Amino acid sequence: MKLFHQYLIVLILGLFQIALAVQVQKSIVVSYPDNTPESVLKEAKKAITDAGGWITHEFNLFKGFAAKASSSAIETIQASSTNFLPVIEEDKVVTIDGDFGTQ
């Protein structure tokens, strides 16, 4: 019985460490200048998915996309392109009276 409790404690501590290691995903909108090559957007989306995030929407009216991404993926995107700088904003709902809400 004592051995079972020791295994249980080790299991709980292991699960706790895994839970702490999971990065919080933020809702973001990433936009690029009109002359940005598609390869730059493709690399940015790959950086997000490689880091465990996902693309939630791809825009057609401008070069950009919405995503759920970790802080490390956002930093990677910001640092990866020097010629075509992305604008990365938190994805929020904006109402007609200017109030911000969360999605």
Residues 68-92 have pLDDT tens digits of: 999 999 999 998 877 899 999 998 8
Residue with the larger pLDDT of the pair 90 and 20: 90
Judge whether 57 and 45 are in contact, CB under 8 Å.
no
User: Please, is 98 exposed, middle or buried when counting C-beta atoms within 10 Å of its C-beta (0-12, 13-18, 19+)?
Assistant: exposed
Residue with the larger pLDDT of the pair 22 and 54: 54
| Per-residue DSSP letter, 62 | S
pLDDT at 61: 93
Structural domains of the chain sorted by starting position, each given as residue range(s) with its CATH number in brackets = 24-102 (3.30.70.80)
pLDDT at 44: 95
